[in-house]
Structure 1
């Protein structure tokens, strides 16, 4: 069952959620993380351990329903035979405890397979239950994500970023400006870094909806000749911006920006998992961006030095 691949992965990214207690939340996160890891390892026995005996898998798009752990495991065996190189990635939007021993997990998952130019995306809702001393998956329901009526509608969550944002840091001023293009189907982000009155770094990013991959994407171009692209995903009130970049000297860089609102007029940005040519780089320092009136800031955005840390 193809869609099962997507649902199985729903937590390669551990994002914030609501829990009954810290220990319970960690336990639910762990069982789901273990399940995703077991899927990617084709570890059938471990997958079986993580389902309840009467587990149910439902595909609401096709109406297909698989009942019972044994039937689900058998379906997975077939998946692994026909799609041996498929990898799964995902994010949790929310964990909500219905009772101390029952948690509902919701989010989305993506499947990447060799030869496919786009990733498949699905939404999921799962029930995770406590049985004696351990947690297991009891139900997974999957469905196709809602299709935005327009590219502009798909970018609605970006509205809180619109405006000018300034950070006084690193001996200078980092300035960002987000604005909608005419028609509202794209958002542009311009940025520059001013030190001692001179602009030492400048670039432009275009953010838009990709209907083929079903995700928000960004394309960045810097005045030093470097360029990159990114995927924007919102979860638990934070933007996770997975970025890849070709530096001006031809080296490849990657990393994930975490953009988090502190208030209507303040947000933080941090670069994590930064690599250049596959070599890990020191963790980026979290910067605080504050909304600025037009007369107090020039147009532009925050970016670090010429090390591949632009989005």
Structure 2
């Protein structure tokens, strides 16, 4: 047991007692090797853009593998050259772009490249894939030993339908002598929804807060919203647009179970100002006074 402990200590101290000269030498070698790998990547792109199948295949080792986005595995120069020859024949004038290329050294003779490949062909949508490539150092330079590509799944988004409301993104303030309403609007991931979080401040305390979620209803082919407040009430809204004016017809269930409805009207004045008013307000069939037009301004 004592021998094992001494061995571990020796390995530990040996691992951290590298001289500055050795460290500088390793860093210089890594820098030179990364430069060489990036030159090989540029050479690959040049061969691909020229449609030169043999030159593309030559960037692999003799036993190198390429796993295509379809899951097919190609091994060796002959299989690679044949596949790329057929591809360039059926897809002429194709070009490749590489984005977010990162290189990490696993050992002095092995490096992993990760990035995004975008293949551009005339009159076609770009094919976008993520890839992982393993480079190995050989007597004839750095070569690809394996490459695996996977298709990038483009998430569904309703951004185009919600884009007319993009001006709402930001922080807005409606202030009076005794109260302030602060509203913060944000996109959710993939721009599928807009969230509006609001707080009602009376003097120095928060009287009420809530969240409204605005999204596109693909079934009704309209913009809808869902509202939840801190008092336990919730509601829905149907949005329609006419010019710079939005009309939101709302139905709500209050915390005590009463049902409410109304029509809210938002009018965009400019990028930093909109006006709001509410009319036709009812609670359990009892008509309530409307809310006179107020001006809401964007916070810098």
* TM-score category (smaller protein): 0.3 to 0.5
Name whichever structure is richer in helix by fraction: 2
TM-score, normalised relative to structure 2: 0.47
TM-score, normalised relative to structure 1: 0.45
Greater C-alpha radius of gyration: 2
